[in-house]
Structures are given as C-alpha cells and as structure tokens.
A and B are shown apart, each in its own frame.
Chain A
Amino acid sequence: MSTPLLEVQHLTMRFGGLTAVDDLSFTAREREITALIGPNGAGKTTVFNCLTGFYRPSAGTMILHRGGRKYQLERMEGHRVARIAGVARTFQNIRLFVGMTLLENLIVAQHDELMRASMFSVAGLFGFSPYRRAEKAAVQKARYWLDRLELTASADLPAGGLSYGDRRRLEIARAMCTGPTLLCLDEPAAGLNPRESDRLNELLLSIRDQHRIGLLLIEHDMKVVMGISDHVVVLDYGKKIADGKPVEIQHDPAVIRAYLGEPEPSFETEPSASPRDEDR
C-alpha cells in the first residue's frame, strides 16, 4: 500500500442549519483512485469545495503531504491550495475558458511557472530567452496532453466548440497541466455516452499509473466506480456510511439501503438518479 497523500479528519461543513458534511474522515493515497460516492445531495461536492479552498470548513482538518511537507488545506486560500499544495480539480458543471483555444486553456493552467519565468512580465515583455524557453516547455506539455486526448488537430480552436465528452477530458488535462499531487474529479462521466465513458476510464487509469499522483473521484456511474477505483468512500446525508474496497462496498448493507431503500442491491444498473424520498 502506498503512502497516505491526503488525510481528512472530522471534516464538518454547516450551511446555517444544514450540515452538508458531518464529521467525515478518510484517507486518499498516491497512485490510487479514491471514489467518493453517495446519493444526490450527500455532500460530495461540498467536500471538494472544502478541499480546494472554496469553502472554509466549520470544523476538522485536511492534511496534504507533498514532497515531505504537510499542508493544512483548511488554512489556505483557494488559489494557494492549487498552486502550493498541488490540489487540482474539475467541476461538476464544466468550467473551461470557452472563448480561448484548447492550447490556451492548457497554457493558462501553467500560469504560475510562466509568470515566474517572465519575471512578472518584465522579461516576457522584452522576449528574453529564459521566458521563451519556458513558454516552449509549456507548449510542449500542453501538446503532450492534446496528443493524449487526440485533440491536437483542434488545438487552435475555441474550447467552446468541443463535444461534451471532449470538454470533460480537456478539463482533466487542464487540471493535470498544473502539475498536481492530488486530482479531484467531480462527476467526470456525467452525460457521457458509453464510448466516451470508456475513453475516460482509460484516461483516468493511465493518469493513475503514469503520474505519481492520487485521484479523488466523485461519480454516480457505478460501472465507472466499480471498474476503476481502488478504494471507495460512501457518503449519505454528509455522514460516512462505508469505506473500503469496491467489492466490499458493493455488498455493504448500509450502502444498499442508502442507494435503493430496502430491497435487492443491483449495481449492474446505474442508480444515478437515486430515490431518496425515504424518511430520515
């Protein structure tokens, strides 16, 4: 088993009277895909927003290990979480820079390095060679991802013109261009057709195997979750109800109850719009 990358302890997030995340603890590891699942409104996206500095949690700690150092994410601003701790994310409702080209999207993700290479624009303004080299390197990195997504031909077209599946994958590539230690993906397979979904699985598995990072995955599609994740955390009403290997989760009675009410479990179908009118 690899070393822990992210340790979440007693994370709690309240919105007024609503406790969206309730005393949640879990661990994510390097070179593993940790899936965060749960019915609609379980608080999954809220966990991501806490992790990436968009929300300040009401209680709890989130510790990220990077290069032998520990970062307390709950104390950092959003942009520093991404830049310094290396937590990159995608959004449930894709957030690309739609007016900018694919290449530009991937270059903007490397802002920090380029900004330093351009000496806050001074060196860049005069086109000094260290900056030109840095820009070339950035283009190369972007090119690597474009090749990998098989989108190289559309590199100079606006991202807004991409198909839905390609947008999702470009958003992932953009997050990867920041050079993250932890990649958080919010429902990357939502709205994809089976073929696109397979390509996504391939991409995620190859990221896991080829880059030394951990992946945190929110997903409703059980085929994806069961197919590629190494470790699953199940949330219901903000509380963790199960935590373990996919096979264990599949047969956990508490999970089955949360997803389907009382009767038979059936993970072969996709319980993406899960019924949750049962009382609490």
Chain B
Amino acid sequence: MTAEAGVAAPHRALPKSFAWGALVKDAAIGAAVALVLAVPLVGFRVVEINGDVTLTTRFTWVGIGVVSVFVGRLALGLWRGSRPAERKRSGALVAPLSRFGRRHATGVAWAGIGFAAILQFLPFTTRGTVDLATEILTYVMLGWGLNVVVGLAGLLDLGYVAFYAVGAYSFAITATTFGLSFWEALPIAGLLSALAGILLGFPVLRLRGDYLAIVTLGFGEIIHILLQNWTSLTGGPNGIGNIPRPGLFGLVFAASAPPGETTFHQFFGLDFSPSQRIDFLYYVVLALALIVNLFTLRLRRLPIGRAWEALREDEIACRALGINPTNVKLSAFAIGAMLGGFAGAFFATRQGFISPESFTFVESATILAIVVLGGMGSQMGVVLAAMVLVLLPELRFLAEYRMLIFGAAMVLIMIWRPGGLLSHRAPTILLHGARRP
C-alpha cells in the first residue's frame, strides 16, 4: 500500500516513506504460501526401487523454492516502488497492434483470408504446415462457437467439449450406421448438438457465474463418462473407426474408388497423392470456419445478438424491457453448441477415428483459453489466440513445458491486457457514418 504511494513521486529514488516493513511482510507471506504448497508437492517423493516403494524427501528443493519466492517478491516490490507508474507502457507490444487491427479491421481480415486461401501454394508450406493450419482452424471454429456463449451472452461454459463430442459422435454414428456422407450428416450433427445445448440450458437457466461454470463442467464430464460406458452406441473406450471422409461433389479422395464411384485424381486426370485429401480437408475447414464467422457476425447484429450482449451486461434490465432471459440464454447455448457440433463433425471426418480420449476437460479449457486470451467477443482475437495456443507447443524445445507456458501466458495477458489480446468492442449498429462492415 505504502509502496504504491511512492508511485506518484516524480524522481526515481526511493521515497523517504518507503515501507520496508510492509515489503518484507508481503515477501514473507509469499514465501509462506510457497512453503505450504511446496512441501506436499515437491518435498515428498515416492520412489520405487526393485518393487519396494519408499518415501524420500527433497527439502533442499523446497528451501530453494521458498527462498527464491521471497527474494523475487521483494525485488518485485522494490521495482514497483521505485519506478513511476507507466500505465501507457503496459502491453506496449500488443496495444499498437490492436489499434492497427481496429482501424484496418476489414483489411486485416481479408489479408488473413487471402493468406489462408493460398497457404498451400506457398513455397515453404509442407504437409505438416497444412495439418497444423487445419488444426488451428478447427480451434478457431470452436473458439468462435464458444464466443457466442461466453463472449457475447456472458455465460461461462466450462463444458464446451461436450458439444464438440456430441457433434463428432453423432456424425460418426450416423455416417457409419446409415451410410450418410459427410455433407449429409453434418447438419444432423449440428442439430443434435444444438439439442444437447438446449438440454443443458434448461437446468442451468437460473444459474450465473461460478455456479453455471461448475454445472457446465459437470456436464462435460457426464458426456465424457457416457461416451466411455455406453459401449453399444459409442464403442466405449475403443471409439468409432472407419468414419467416412468428405468427398467433393461425389468425388472421393482415395487411391482407388469403391465400385460405382469416381476418385478425385481420376476425374481431373491427376496422379494420386495422399496430400490431395489433406489439402481438401484444409479447404473444408477453411470454408466451414468462414461460414461460422459470417454467421456469428451476422447474428451479433440481429436482435438476438444484441439481446445476448444485453443479457451479459444486465439480466434484470433485460427483463424490464420485456426480453425473456430464458429464450435468450437457450438460444445462445443452442447456437454455440451447434457450432461446436460442426467442429466436432469435422474433427471426426478428419481423424477417421474418434474415442472419448479426444474429449476431455483439457479441450474445454483450451477452447475457453482461446476465447479469453483473444478478448471476449472478438473474432480476430480468437484467431490470434488459437494460433498462439496451437503453435506454442509445436516449438520442439518447448513441448515439455507446454502447460507451464500456457499458464504463464495466461497470467501475463491477464496482467497486461485483462480484456484479452483484442478487447475492443465494435458497435453492432451506427447512427453516424453508415460504416457497416
């Protein structure tokens, strides 16, 4: 507290009233917390030697940890206390970027789309790049879907993976049992996911904030457990295989066509190459993502979208204006779930095989992180965050520290840009200047 008072001082030297006491106390508290956490987590270790299990201790490590927390906290306090507040500098890297993005939003968007469209023909593009881009786009789609629920309607959903799973499984099941093609089964998958969204919506209508988060978390787990145990339908832990791949107007992507069908390479007189299918999948997801983007952007500018945002801002005021919060919430859940379902169906067709393992809480957390990091409600932010979160672990030397970096990135962004990377909200309608993107 007192250290903060020094912030106003124009000179860099420590102010006279610099409170060493408070600083040391703060550092000591930090160290104490570190101690409490480190003793059970680091201090004890179970080792197995020749089948005997013994408990060893590593108190030196604990000591090092506690001392470094103490010193670090002290240094942080000194650093904060000795320099004048430079609010403007915070997020020095991102702020101008986001300002640029805001001013030239349409330009940036078109440049991005153009780049994505010609990615395959760029000289440095390999099969791996296309795979990675496909994965990023899947997450972008999921992020945009969840953005409807979390970013626009303000309903914290920790179980979004459930709808991803429902989409994937309903596609896989309808496609394998009824022999539907990807394009026929896709709407069904979306519809079933939307239904699941409404089913989840009903019991949680009265809940807000933390309570809602916990129930949706539970819903995610329930779906996961259902997938594992409803063996007759979902194949249990073995999952579902042989999921059909999407075709292009009846042309299949395979070395040789099944009877009565034509392959893509035959039709166009090309040589067969497995990368044709991968490239095609990439375009499928790119198209799906663009459709999802257009769809959500459009919805946001319709009464329903404004009602979502109004609900996020103030549910009571909404009711006083004659808006039925139940319908608004259910529509947000349903639309968000449907988009998640589309992504799930794409995931299933791309992998050709799905099992419950792909639909764990970590997926929900990743998608939520993409939305929150990107800036709630920001379409471009989701793209940026999805790229960061998918690409970071790809840097080989970082792979082991994926979770650590993930956490650190979250903390840093929440400190520097609490609203997310791009937190600017564009009005849905303007009175002045008919600038309507």
Contact = CB atoms under 8 A, between A and B. Distances in A.
A binds B: yes
B60 to A, nearest CB: 51
Contacts, number: 115
A125 interface: yes
Q: Which among A96, A121, A178 has the greatest number of chain B C-beta atoms within 10 A?
A: A121
A111 interface: yes
A155 B425 contact: no
Interface in A125-165: 125, 135, 139, 142-143, 146, 152, 155-156
Contact of B317 (A53, A91, A125): A91
A82 B299 contact: no
B64 interface: no
B83 interface: no
Interface of B, secondary structure class, is helix
B429 A111 contact: no
A82 B431 contact: no
Interface string B124-157: 0000000000000000000000000000000000
Q: Which among A82, A111, A118, A156 has the greatest number of chain B C-beta atoms within 10 A?
A: A111
Interface residues of B, number: 29
B354 interface: no
Given A104-B427, A107-B429, A152-B431, A89 B309 contact: no
B49 to A, nearest CB: 60
Interface in B297-312: 298-299, 302-304, 306-307, 309-310
Given A124-B302, A125-B298, A125-B302, A103 B429 contact: yes
A96 B316 CA distance: 10
Contacts of A155: 430-432
A83 B430 CA distance: 26
A97 B320 contact: no
Given A103-B427, A125-B298, A82 B304 contact: no
A121 B306 CA distance: 12
Interface residues on A, range: 35 or more
Interface string A64-100: 0000000000000011101110001101000111111
Given A96-B317, A97-B310, A125-B298, A79 B303 contact: no
Interface stretch (B12-20, B322-330, B392-400): B322-330
Given A95-B314, A104-B427, A139-B431, A89 B320 contact: yes
Contact of A107 (B306, B323, B324): B306
A103 B303 contact: no
A83 B317 CA distance: 13
B303 A121 contact: yes
A101 interface: yes
B184 interface: no
Contacts of B319: 53-54, 78-79, 82
Contacts of B295: 125
B88 to A, nearest CB: 20
A91 to B, nearest CB: 7
Contacts of A142: 431
A104 B321 CA distance: 13
A97 B313 CA distance: 5
Nearest to A152: B431
B325 A79 contact: yes
Q: Which among B321, B431, B432 has the greatest number of chain A C-beta atoms within 10 A?
A: B321
Contact of A143 (B302, B425, B431): B431
Given A108-B307, A115-B304, A101 B321 contact: no
Nearest to A174: B321
Contact of B432 (A78, A82, A96, A156): A156
Interface of B: 295, 298-299, 302-304, 306-307, 309-310, 313-314, 316-325, 425, 427-432
- Sorted from nearest, which 3 A-B pairs have the closest CB atoms? A83-B322, A82-B322, A155-B431
28 contacts: A80-B322, A82-B321, A84-B322, A91-B320, A96-B314, A96-B317, A97-B317, A98-B313, A99-B313, A99-B425, A100-B309, A103-B431, A104-B306, A104-B429, A108-B310, A109-B321, A111-B303, A111-B307, A112-B323, A114-B303, A118-B302, A125-B299, A125-B302, A135-B429, A143-B431, A146-B431, A155-B430, A178-B322
